């Protein structure tokens, strides 16, 4: 790489950095999707539990319903947090996509001469 021009070295370094940042953002996006899916499953489990019939033991049923309501609220909070994180990651990833102006600029020769 030392025999290459400084402009080419800079371009390669910036592209490697871009690929690394895009990879990190994509991995974060996937983790957030998994977290959201898990929270949605927890919320559904709680909703089904709340709709179910009781055992006949009023005290036990009340405690169970309270616990399910608290778990449902926590799951919904995790869903909201995941959604906010997903939006941030998607915006970050969208920022990596080159604009038409950036693409045209990148097609110019590194030495600044007009293409033959």
- Report the alpha-carbon distance of residue 47 to residue 21 in Å, rounded: 39
**Residue 10 · residue 84 · CB < 8 Å:** no
The model carries a pTM of 0.68
Q: Where are the alpha helices (DSSP H) in the chain?
A: 6-51, 58-96, 100-106
Question: Which H or E run contains 99?
Answer: none
Q: 62-108 pLDDT, tens per residue?
A: 999 999 999 999 999 999 999 999 999 999 988 887 766 665 666 55
């Amino acid at each position: 790489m030392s025999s290459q021009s400084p402009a080419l070295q800079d371009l390669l370094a910036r592209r490697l950095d871009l690929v690394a940042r895009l990879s990190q953002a994509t991995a974060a996006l996937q983790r957030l999707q998994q977290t959201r899916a898990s929270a949605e499953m927890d919320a559904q489990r709680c909703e089904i539990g709340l709709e179910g019939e009781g055992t006949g033991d009023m005290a036990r049923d009340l405690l169970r319903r309270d616990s399910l309501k608290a778990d449902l609220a926590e799951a919904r909070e995790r869903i909201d947090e995941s959604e906010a994180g997903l939006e941030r990651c998607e915006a970050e990833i969208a920022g990596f996509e080159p604009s038409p102006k950036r693409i045209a600029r990148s097609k110019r020769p590194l030495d600044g001469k007009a293409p033959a």
